[in-house]
Amino acid sequence: MKEDLFYELSFTEDGYVIGRHNHDEADSVSIVGYTEESKHARLFVAAPKLLEALQQCIPHLREQSKVDGHAFGTLQLVNREIAKATGETK
C-alpha cells in the first residue's frame, strides 16, 4: 500500500488548510485543518519547508559552533525545535 502523503498544502481566504495528495494514482484534495487566523494557516502551510530548511542548516551550524559560541547556542535551539516538530521530544 502506498503511503498517503500531502505533496502540496495551501489555504483558502476563509481559513481552511487544503492538502493535495496522490492516493491510488489519483489526485485528491482534503481539508487538513481550519483556523480563523490566516497567519496560522500560512504558518501551517509553510511548516514542512521551514523544517526542511532548518534541517539543512545543521551541518553549517555544527561547523560554525566549533569557533562561535552563539552558533553553538543556535545549533542547540534548532536541534531542540526539530526534535519537537518531528515528535522525537515534547
What's the pLDDT tens digit per position in 11-28? 777 777 777 766 656 666
Whether pTM > 0.75 for this model: the answer is: no
What is the secondary structure of the chain as a DSSP string?
-----EEEEEE-TTSEEEEEEEETTEEEEEEEEE-S-HHHHHHHHHHHHHHHHHHHHHHHHHHHTTT-HHHHHHHHHHHHHHHHHTTS--
**Residue spans per domain, the chain:** 6-85
- Per-residue pLDDT band for 83 (boundaries 50, 70, 90) equals very high
Looking at the predicted structure, is the pLDDT value of residue 4 above 50? no
What's the pLDDT tens digit per position in 32-78? 666 676 666 677 778 888 899 999 999 999 999 999 989 999 999 99
